[in-house]
Amino acid sequence: MNNGLIIIFVLFFVACGYGANVLIIYPMPGKSHYILGNSLAKGLANHGFNVTLVSPFEEKQSPENFGQIVLDGILEKWEGKRIERNFSLFEFGDTPPILQSLFLNSMCQEITEEFFAHHKVQNLLKSQERFDAVVVEQFVNDALKIFAYHFKAPLIIASSLGPNFWINGLVGNPEPPAYVPNLFLNFDNEMSFTERLYNFLFGIFSQLNTHLLVYPSQNNILKKYYPDGPDLNDVIYNVSLIFLNSHESINGPVPIVPNMVPIGGYHVTPSKKLPKDLQLFLDNSKDGAIYFSLGSNVIPSQMPNITRDTILKVLGSRKENILWKWDQDSLPNKPPNFKLSKWFPQQDVLAHPNIKLFITHCGLLSTTETVYHGVPILGFPIFGDQQLNAARATTLGVGKFIDFSKINENNLEQAIDEILDNPKYLQNAKYRSQLMHDRPVKPMNLAAYWVDYVIRHKGAPHLQVAGVKLPLYKYLMLDVLAAIFATLFALFYSVYRIVKYCRAPKLKEKQN
């Protein structure tokens, strides 16, 4: 491609959204959620859109056409609740998936209510602002879709995950339980009979939970803070587009309808130079280095002492240097090969050639970043979709995982040795990295194109499949199946009655 065509191509994507106003709502008080929302907002702003981001977090460095509505007080409130309730995600890890779902119901209902009650959100609803599109993060917060109705703008859903039961029904996307595992289960796409049975039954529970518990509670919030508005069911299915935080290189191929667009990896940025001390530490790691981080929501110091001491003993005895994201200023019995920090520039660390292994909780952002940079994974999944991400990484051959509550010296040593000594893990990680990079268009450019497309085509209703308008019994063909079974029953019963009628005289003759 010559320089002239490159310039035209770049200018097209920069100008495609010029002048359009986009409202982006990311209500979750979690850093990983904000990273996705902020990356999307800044990316669209860099492509010419006038963006307003509503979030509990504040961005210090932003483009000129990037506006913020910072929901002050929410982060402090949730930190206070965590301390008051003495809540630890490590204790949450062994909770059955059903209880995890119910916990999310309660937590996200509370977050949604606090969002609507915030004075800045109320001021936004009372304002005369005009938006050409509204983007809402999907995370058990369906009442927020009213903002698209309020501003008379197309609704775009930003899924922090890939296709899942929270969003599939909103656009009529199929979710075959035979090979698409539920996001709360640690199954891969090749399930045994028992796993398929459990996946099928848990899928039924998920749908019942959504329609009987989540939607009614979200509708109550909607009626409370937007009393003159429509019912929840009248707004949640009017979806123009869904952005999926997924890519087939790591999430695997699954069915998606035309108005679902995978942009997984859009938050990944080009690697930058590391801080001097960190650069020196990794450069001098002649035997390589292992990076250990449990993400932004898990507090490492809350892990059980026995597990912490086991990890310290195993990692401290290795020849590799260790980077450990640790939330306190000191770590008891810290081995000499350890370097601690409350924060590491994770993407830049993973890009360093001396990083041999990433020990991670298998959050989707961390999993995407490590695959992007071709680094093998040892997963310690704790809750939510982390189990599913860990199972996929194992299936793809890029790593292994150990349930956090089951870590011991033996299985931890064996897992690290297996990953570092067997070249297949590094080879598979590099191959998956190539797949993630091999795209015709960068994911952020793709997102900008589709936002502009939806605006230009006034919500793009032509992309919606007919299935989204069907009631559940029609979508599942229950009426057709009932008619078939009724016909077969009537046919067999008629044959039975005819045979019985024809045999009756013969039976009488024999009796006489």
Q: What percent of the chain has pLDDT over 90?
A: 72
Confidence of residue 497 (pLDDT cuts 50, 70, 90): confident
- Going by C-alpha positions, the residue among 36, 399, 437 that lies closest to residue 249 is 437
* Cα–Cα dist 59/38, whole Å: 8
Residues 6+ apart with CB under 8 A from 20: 48, 49, 50, 132, 133, 451, 452, 455
- What the block records as the tokens of 297 is 């929501």
Burial class (CB in 10 A: 0-12, 13-18, 19+), 212: exposed
pLDDT in tens, 471-481: 878 888 889 99
Return the higher-pLDDT residue of 4 and 322.
Answer: 322
* Cα–Cα dist 199/364, whole Å: 21
H/E segment holding residue 67: strand 66-70
CB atoms within 10 A of CB 93: 20
Is residue 83 scored above 80 in pLDDT? no
The predicted model gives 72-82 an average pLDDT of 85
Residue 441 DSSP label: S
- Residue 2 has a pLDDT of 52
Confidence of residue 508 (pLDDT cuts 50, 70, 90): low
* Cα–Cα dist 33/42, whole Å: 14
Is residue 512 scored above 70 in pLDDT? no
- Residue 84 has a pLDDT of 67
DSSP of 404-435? GGG--HHHHHHHHHHHHH-HHHHHHHHHHHHH
Confidence of residue 58 (pLDDT cuts 50, 70, 90): very high
Helix/strand/coil for 184: coil
Amino acid residing at 243: F
pLDDT in tens, 301-310: 889 999 999 9
Q: Which of 141-150, 204-213, 379-388, 440-449 has the lowest mean pLDDT?
A: 379-388
Confidence of residue 6 (pLDDT cuts 50, 70, 90): very low
Is residue 505 scored above 90 in pLDDT? no
Is residue 5 scored above 50 in pLDDT? no
Is residue 416 scored above 70 in pLDDT? yes
Residue 461 DSSP label: G
* Cα–Cα dist 468/477, whole Å: 14
Give whole-number Cα distances, 265 to 140, 361, 437, in Å. 23, 18, 9
The predicted model gives 160-166 an average pLDDT of 92
Is residue 8 scored above 70 in pLDDT? no
Q: List the end-to-end C-alpha distance of the chain, in Å, as a whole number.
A: 99
- Residue 510 has a pLDDT of 64
pLDDT in tens, 197-252: 999 999 999 999 999 999 999 999 999 999 998 999 999 999 999 999 999 888 88
Listed as own residue / partner, the contacts of 421-427 with beta carbons closer than 8 Å and 24 or more positions apart are 424/397, 425/376, 425/397, 425/398, 425/399, 426/374, 426/376
DSSP of 196-252? HHHHHHHHHHHHHHIIIIIHHHHHHHHHHHSTTS--GGGTTT---EEEES--TTTT-
Return the higher-pLDDT residue of 186 and 139.
Answer: 139
- Residue 476 has a pLDDT of 81
| Mean of the per-residue pLDDT values of the chain | 90
What pTM value is reported for the model? 0.88
Q: What percent of the chain has pLDDT over 70?
A: 94
- Residue 474 has a pLDDT of 86
The distance from CA 88 to its chain's CA centroid, rounded to whole angstroms, is 21
- Residue 7 has a pLDDT of 45
pLDDT in tens, 105-135: 999 999 999 999 999 999 999 999 999 999 9
Q: Which of 143-147, 150-154, 409-413, 506-510 has the lowest mean pLDDT?
A: 506-510
Is residue 386 scored above 70 in pLDDT? yes
- Residue 385 has a pLDDT of 86
